[in-house]
Amino acid sequence: MTENPFQYAPAPESRSIVDIAPSYGLFVDGEFVDGGGKSFKTVNPATEEVLSEVAAGTAEDVDRAVRAARRAFTRVWGPMRPADRGKYLFRIARLLQERAREFAVLESLDNGKPIRESRDVDVPLAAAHFFYHAGWADKLGWAGLGPGPRPLGVAGQVIPWNFPLLMLAWKVAPALATGNTVVLKPAETTPLTALLFAEVCRQADLPPGVVNIVTGAGDTGRAVVEHDDVDKVAFTGSTEVGRSIARAVAGTRKKLTLELGGKAANIVFDDAPIDQAVDGIVQGIFFNQGHVCCAGSRLLVQENVHDEVIASLQRRIGTLRLGDPLDKNTDIGAINSAEQLARIRELSDVGVAEGAQRWQPACELPARGFWFPPTVFTDVSPAHRIARDEVFGPVLSVLTFRTPDEAVAKANNTTYGLSAGIWTEKGSRILKIADQLRAGVVWANTFNKFDPTSPFGGYKQSGYGREGGRHGLAAYLKGSDA
């Protein structure tokens, strides 16, 4: 094949818009303060360059943050007129929009995701969550959760590294709209946008203590979850950590919502719009390097179109552009950390060892940083680990089915149940299959679409409780059950 004459020149988004400090403290009671723990470095996963040093919160730091949150709850935020709480949320939402480019660049630097996604998905959705919940703040009595629902108090929230700002928005916006105050721990590898959000809180004149951000690793998270004066725990992350949190919270008065792993089935019937289904498969598993709990990591394709779909998929994957996350034309960015890369490599190798066929496009990986090419496994059996374990990376396992019943049985044959996708031109089939799938979100002829009005959450080991929509409010209110 001759060289393609149309080579896109580098089109990097300028990073001069962000101003990263050499070190950051914790955000407690409206002030940045030093942490008691040993500070840690956060790196750019695309280059392994150290971006900043971040303070680690100890149990004492967490205690100080929870006390600040409690004070803010009893004195200011709890008694405040709901309409006024809404005003603060609207102000935060607008500031997120105004500073959208800054947030997008910082997110891509710290997380490794392509700027196209942070700019077009993460940041706009985060702002949308604040706008949406701002609207609810003075209408909670009409949310169908009973008359005059009341806030719980202090919410302890622990979020993952895959969508750092968006997950913060999913947690903070509903908590604040319902009148709670929060202590939030961002992920160890991606703390920077949460700290920029702290600055936005100050810019919005949010009363001190309403939002507290305590950075750190697992110990800090445990201190947040186990603190006696926390009324509500919300966690998004791995099923393993979710289990230990459930154990820690068991027997206390704390309310708990968990949003954990997934191994979603993306079901393609033979009458699907093939080109769009292929786009949907790509969007399902390669969006955000596959670091998505609801990723469509198991492709269930009807046997009679298997070869056609796989050929089309491979051709499409060949057009994806992997590289510098800040380049506006990049489709696939860097894996978030060396640990995650090691796990993806391990599971991918297990796939080969267990007898599945691994396919990767011919693509050059950058010499520095953490990278993994988009990968497709065919001849996968439901018994293989790559068909059962969450890889949390750009690795797709392809299985086949012959009848709708078999598709449903295979789709549900997982310990998870977060999301699923159905591709068919037949409307009645969509409704029938969706009804039988045990998954919190079922997408039809699309995948990985998010909206603040739509509740999100899982079945089985994917967790419990819902985030977003009217249902998501229930998790932060008294007199109603999540």
Asked if 217 interacts with other proteins (CB under 8 A), we say no
**Token reading at 207:** 């009363």
Asked if 329 interacts with other proteins (CB under 8 A), we say yes
Asked if 14 interacts with other proteins (CB under 8 A), we say no
Residue 148 backbone zone (phi > 0: left; psi -120 to 50: alpha; other: beta):
left
Rounded to whole angstroms, the Cα distance separating 27 from 36 reads 13
Asked if 199 interacts with other proteins (CB under 8 A), we say no
Cα 481 off chain centre by: 24
Beta bridge partners of 181: 154
Q: Smaller CB distance to other proteins: residue 371 or 423?
A: 423
Q: Figure out which of the listed residues 9, 250, 367, 383 binds other proteins, where binding follows CB under 8 A.
A: 9
Rounded to whole angstroms, the Cα distance separating 401 from 411 reads 10
- What is the residue whose two structure tokens read 């998505």? 292
Q: Figure out which of the listed residues 20, 76, 246, 274 binds other proteins, where binding follows CB under 8 A.
A: 274
Q: Where are the beta strands (DSSP E) in 209-365?
A: 211-213, 232-236, 255-259, 265-268, 298-302, 357-359
Eight-class DSSP state of 12: B
Asked if 67 interacts with other proteins (CB under 8 A), we say no
Q: Where are the beta strands (DSSP E) in 320-462?
A: 357-359, 375-378, 395-401, 419-423, 441-444
Asked if 333 interacts with other proteins (CB under 8 A), we say no
Asked if 445 interacts with other proteins (CB under 8 A), we say yes
Length of the chain: 482
Asked if 314 interacts with other proteins (CB under 8 A), we say no
Asked if 7 interacts with other proteins (CB under 8 A), we say yes
Backbone angles phi, psi at 322, to 5 degrees: -105, 135
259 is catalytic: yes
Q: Of 270, 275, 284, 274, nearest to 446 (Cα)?
A: 284
Asked if 323 interacts with other proteins (CB under 8 A), we say no
Asked if 116 interacts with other proteins (CB under 8 A), we say yes
Query: Binding string, 120-159, against other proteins, x = CB under 8 A?
Result: x---------------------------------------
Asked if 6 interacts with other proteins (CB under 8 A), we say yes
Residue pair 117/329 in contact by the 8 Å Cβ criterion: no
Q: How far is the CB of 196 from other proteins (least distance, A)?
A: 24
Q: How far is the CB of 282 from other proteins (least distance, A)?
A: 10
Asked if 428 interacts with other proteins (CB under 8 A), we say no
Total residues interacting with other proteins, rule: CB under 8 A:
25
Catalytic residue, candidates 117, 259, 390, 467: 259
Q: Of the ranges 29-37, 270-278, 334-342, 367-375, which one interacts with other proteins (CB under 8 A)?
A: 270-278
**Residues whose CB falls within 8 Å of the CB of residue 39, separated by 6 or more in sequence, listed in order:** 23, 53, 54, 55, 56
**Residues whose CB falls within 8 Å of the CB of residue 445, separated by 6 or more in sequence, listed in order:** 272, 273, 276, 277, 280, 422, 423, 424, 430
Q: Smaller CB distance to other proteins: residue 53 or 279?
A: 279
Q: Smaller CB distance to other proteins: residue 52 or 448?
A: 448
Q: Smaller CB distance to other proteins: residue 34 or 120?
A: 120
Q: How far is the CB of 330 from other proteins (least distance, A)?
A: 10
Residues at the site binding other proteins, with contacts judged by CB under 8 A: 2, 4-11, 116, 120, 271-276, 279-280, 319, 328-329, 425, 445-446
Q: Show which residues are catalytic.
A: 259
